[in-house]
Amino acid sequence: MDGNHDLELILRSRTPIIIIESQDEVRILQLLQSVALRRASDSYMPLFRWSVTDGLQRLDIALEPQALNSDPSDVLKHIRAVTKPGIYVLLDFHPFLEDPVHVRLLKDICMRYTEIERQIVLMSHKVTIPSELEGYSARFDIALPTEQERTGIVKKAVDAYCADHPSSKVQVDPKAHELLIKNLAGLSYADTERLARNAIYVDGAITKSDLPGVMQAKYELLNRGGALQFEYDTATFVDVGGLSKLKAWLAKRRPAFRGDESASHLDPPKGILLLGIQGCGKSLAAKATAAVFGVPLLRLDFAAIYDKYHGETERKLRESLKTADVMAPCVLWIDEIEKGLAGRGGETGTTQRVLGTFLTWMSEKKGHVFVVATANDISTLPAELVRKGRFDEIFFVDLPTPDIRASILAIHLSRRGQALGNFDIPALAAEMDGFSGSEIEQAVVSALYTAHANKKALSTAFIRAEIEQTRPLSVVLSEKISTMRAWAAGRTVSCD
């Protein structure tokens, strides 16, 4: 297995404590056994496994667990007293590292490592090492399954299904099989095996219908921090009125982003920044982008990233961006990016570190992660973010024109089961001058309530009455919107 060589190197590095953060306990123990058994006789070291439930157990040979050493203090005192070399794998020991007695016992073992090679492997889902032990420690990241290994895992799941259902044969769509192996990338060995089995055991086949479920389950496994949201229902551009230039721009870049052979000589697009007036369709355009590219949509919530503890905000952002890389190809939607990167009162130091982390990722990301950032006020964003090259393009989403207002009105009427022939759509669109897309929708919704209250069918008159009562944002915030339009002129590309 690919992890053998790297694991053997770190075991030979003469580091007293090795930290392995992983949920793949079974696989790592198998790797350790393989490395231990392969060692030459002159460098052979016995391998032990400890857990609070089973105590100490010899792994390289079959012996009964020593239940008397199940107490954390007892096992550390036992290891310290042993006069022969050995490797001791302590499973889920992280809660006991807060005890100063345990820390001192571990330090005693480490300080005598040059005399007796007793190596401690701390394995758990997460290990926070006390500062007293950092100088004696090294971390090891287990390699995730390669494409070849994932192929083997899927084959193993197919064989298991056939063994459980002797009269059945797994139907395999070659293209779906290829995509399944590709989409399982970034998961641990155990999670890869579980998702592959789930996909096959549902219907005894590997088809394209299995892929959305696999991607959803993969996202849920990866996003344990909660800063990313998986958008299950992505809009299509049929649901978006206007934005013709944006639609054409995305369509040109779809083959390069998807990795089509015809566009293999083109660099994949990085992302776009959508600036515009509130309610004019920026968020809907972000969702529709995922539909155009045919990939999952992840939404990054900066509010969930910011943390009062020093360094936690940056860690959460790094984990979220790493998840996006693993989910590639995907669209990463950052809504109202200015609220996360434009300074947060007294948190300017944290904001600068978050900005640095994000910009570094933007520059170095290799995976097909297309970033769609939306902003209502670009003037508050740092210059480093909006300079040419960060995003492929900056689009401005303006208030809709009469034709676009008519199409938006038609979309919302049709969505609510209204026959378009019953309405004077051109006249209503003309009267909605200055309305945003969301304000047009709200006019339809409010008119429906009024018509229902009067026990009548929705008509042009009801919608017109709502228009007359509405003061759109373009009127309420006319100065701010005029300033935004003036800034965007010559600096951005219009979506229409």
What pLDDT score does 75 carry?
A: 93
Residue 350 placed within a domain: yes
- The HSE-up count of residue 123 (CA atoms within 13 Å, CB side) is 23
In a domain, 451, yes or no: yes
| DSSP assignment letter at 477 | T
Rounded to an integer, what distance in angstroms lies between the CA atom of residue 350 and that of residue 356?
10
Phi, psi of 8, rounded to the nearest 5 degrees: -65, -40
* pLDDT tens for each residue of 465-483: 999 988 888 788 888 888 7
Q: Which neighbouring-strand residues pair with 57?
A: 49
pLDDT at position 69: 81
> Which amino acid, residue 15?
T
Give exposure, 371-403, as e/b (b: 16+ Cβ within 10 Å): bbbbbbbbeebeeebbeeebbbbbbbbbbbeee
Contact of 245 with 396, CB cutoff 8 Å: no
Q: Are residues 161 and 110 in the same domain?
A: no
Q: Residue 489: inside a domain, yes or no?
A: no
Number of independent structural domains in the chain: 4
Same domain for 60 and 25, yes or no, is: yes
Q: Is the residue at 246 inside a domain? A: no
Q: Is 372:274 a contact under the CB 8 Å cutoff?
A: yes
Identify whether 273 is part of a domain: yes
What is the signed CA dihedral for 5, 8, 10, 16, rounded to 10 degrees?
170
Sign for the CA dihedral angle at 69, 75, 79, 80 comes to negative
Cβ 19 vs Cβ 129: under 8 Å: yes
d(CA 291, CA 331): 9
Q: Are 186 and 144 in contact (CB under 8 A)?
A: yes
d(CA 439, CA 277): 12
Mean model confidence pLDDT for the chain: 83
Please identify, among 105, 139, 173, the residue that sits at the C-terminal boundary of a domain. Answer: 139
Burial of 131 (0-12, 13-18, 19+ CB in 10 A): exposed
Q: Which of 275, 485, 286, 282 minimizes the C-alpha distance to 377?
A: 275
DSSP notation for 354-415: HHHHHHHHHHH--S-EEEEEEES-GGGS-HHHHSBTTBSEEEEE-PPPHHHHHHHHHHHHHH
CB proximity list for 357: less than 8 A, separation 6 or greater: 314, 317, 318, 321
* Sequence-distant (≥ 6) Cβ neighbours of residue 212 within 8 angstroms: none
Label residue 121 exposed, middle or buried (CB < 10 Å: 0-12, 13-18, 19+). buried
In a domain, 15, yes or no: yes
Q: Does one domain contain both 413 and 466?
A: yes
- Domain membership of residue 151 as a residue range: 147-222
CATH code assigned at 103: 3.40.50.300
Q: CA nearest 337: which of 289, 368, 303, 388? A: 303
pLDDT at 438: 87
Cα angle 276-279-282, degrees, rounded to a multiple of 5: 50
- Quick one: 118 and 55 in the same domain? yes
DSSP 8-state code for residue 336: T
What DSSP assignment string belongs to 151-218? HHHHHHHHHHHHHH-TT---EE-HHHHHHHHHHTTTS-HHHHHHHHHHHHHHHTEE-GGGHHHHHHHH
pLDDT under 50: residue ranges of the chain: 1-2, 344-347
In this structure, the answer to whether residues 22 and 99 fall within a common structural domain is: yes
Decide if 313 is inside a domain: yes
User: Is position 345 within any domain?
Assistant: yes
The secondary element (H helix, E strand) that includes residue 289 is helix 282-293
Q: Are residues 132 and 186 in the same domain?
A: no
Both 98 and 174 in one domain: the answer is no
- Looking at 222, 256, 286, the residue that finishes a domain is 222
**Could you tell me the pTM of the whole model?**
0.67
- State both tokens at 186: 């970034």
Contact call for residues 400 and 437 (beta carbons, < 8 A): yes
* Same domain, yes or no: 377 and 409: no
Residues 151, 133 share a domain:
no
The CATH number covering residue 426 comes to: 1.10.8.60
What is the Cα gyration radius of the chain? Answer: 29
The CA distance from 370 to 384, in Å, is 19
Using DSSP bridges, classify how beta strands 297-300 and 369-375 pair: parallel, antiparallel or unpaired.
unpaired
> Length of the chain in residues, anyone?
496
Same domain? For 279 and 375 the reply is: yes
Q: What is the pLDDT of residues 261-320, one digit of tens each?
A: 888 788 888 899 888 877 777 888 888 888 888 888 888 877 677 766 666 777 778 878
Shared-domain flag, residues 127 and 158: no
Same domain (yes/no): 373, 424:
no
